[in-house]
Amino acid sequence: MAGKAVGPVRRSFAPWTDPASKPFIEFRKVTKRFGDFVAVDDLSLIIYEREFFALLGPSGCGKTTLMRMVAGFEGPTEGQVLLDGQDLAGVPPYRRPTNMMFQSYALFPHMTVEANIGFGLKQDRMAKGEIDARVEEMLSLVKLTPFAKRKPHQLSGGQRQRVALARSLAKWPKVLLLDEPLGALDKKLREETQFELTDLQQKLGLTFVIVTHDQEEAMTVADRIAVMNQGRIVQIATPSEIYEQPNSRYVADFIGDINVLEGRIASTGNGVVRLECIGTGATVEVDQDLTAAPGDTAWFAIRPEKISISLDRPQNGTINAVEGEVWDIGYLGDVSVYHVRLPTGATMKATVTNRSRLVERPITWEDKVWLTWTRDGGVILTK
């Protein structure tokens, strides 16, 4: 029998919009220094119970340090880290209701799958009958029951990942911390496992915090994402808000492909911003409320899939349109990406869905083309 879809649950889950919701994990003005290096800089953050939360950013941005402070492997230099209302200062890792799954999996090579899963329970001196029952439950949960007697070297990478996950969940932690858990898997298996993780998290009702530099992974699994840079949080929002409404060029550029045109504010009002793009001759109009003065420098950011490409000049001239030459074409199977060189030398990308098998391209290299978009296709950024 098919399982119950988790979509309705995820759609309705939004405790961050309810002022009465209590924080489950809370960072209060936390700073972490390693000598002269500031890994986390005066950071405050709230994560809610049952949330699948992603810490996303480049290497060295402080995301793993945050996770290690929840686990107890690091302590804050300044500030507080609280879990379910309790200040974690001085609480050793083994006393915290958390568990951590590492990218390397760290399985014991001489132990069977079931022994690996039950190791932590045995260390806690749980009764053998209870351990056996819990291990059996975990094996069923990650669909590895037929592999219980195998050693790690007899498993595929995906199966080893499941063993590590089962071991992390066996003690029923309040919080599961996932440090780049899918990084060792190939692309297809990683994508499949991402959906399995979200289903598992919903089924267990636990709080998951994942650290990753993979934007697609974060957007697939997370209820909310914190984008980090140099020890600070740049933006916290849902995946769709992060993608469609980035609050800065850094976030827009970090999440997915983006085209950015620099310009000056011509006018604002009535929910419409007009931007004169420097060097392209284009006028951009965007449906957006923005506090800015005429003459201010701003940037228009738009995703390649929001842009239409055509050989024909648009009827509205240069409003939300630029002319250029097809410089390169990337065929990715499901989509084709057109790189269009503008007169200024800048390049814009337009993505076209390949709805039918291509025999001959209607638009090809060196064609003169027009790129156009709608007023709600992009966003104006002021920083």
Q: pLDDT at position 360, please? A: 60
The pTM assigned to this predicted structure is 0.86
Cα angle value 39/42/59 (rounded, 5°):
30
Do both 371 and 224 map to the same domain?
no
Query: Is there a domain that residue 188 lies in?
Result: yes
Identify which of 196, 241, 244, 193 has the alpha carbon closest to the alpha carbon of residue 214. Answer: 193
Q: What is the pLDDT of residues 200-211, one digit of tens each?
A: 888 888 999 999
Residue 185: count other Cβ atoms within 10 Å of its Cβ: 18
Residues 98 and 225 in one domain: yes
Q: What is the pLDDT of residues 286-300, one digit of tens each?
A: 999 888 889 999 999
For 288, the domain range is: 257-381
More confident residue, 192 or 25: 25
For residue 284, what pLDDT band results from cuts at 50, 70 and 90?
very high
353 close to 338: Cβ distance less than 8 angstroms: no
Question: What domain count does the chain have?
Answer: 2
Which of 250, 273, 296 is at the close of a domain? 250
**24 - beta bridge partners?**
none
Q: Angle, nearest 10°, between helix axes 157-169 and 113-123?
A: 20
207 and 278 belong to one structural domain: no
Question: Quick one: 237 and 222 in the same domain?
Answer: yes
210 shares a domain with 350: no
Query: Which range, 76-90, 102-116, 262-276, 352-366, has the best average confidence (pLDDT)?
Result: 76-90
- Looking at the predicted structure, is the pLDDT value of residue 222 above 60? yes
Q: Which of 226, 250, 274 is the last residue of a domain?
A: 250
CATH number for the domain including 312? 2.40.50.140
Of 194, 219, 250, at which residue does a domain stop?
250
Output DSSP code: residue 255.
Answer: S
Asked if residue 148 and residue 33 are part of one domain, the reply reads: yes
User: Coil, helix or strand for 197?
Assistant: helix
Mean pLDDT of 279-292: 86
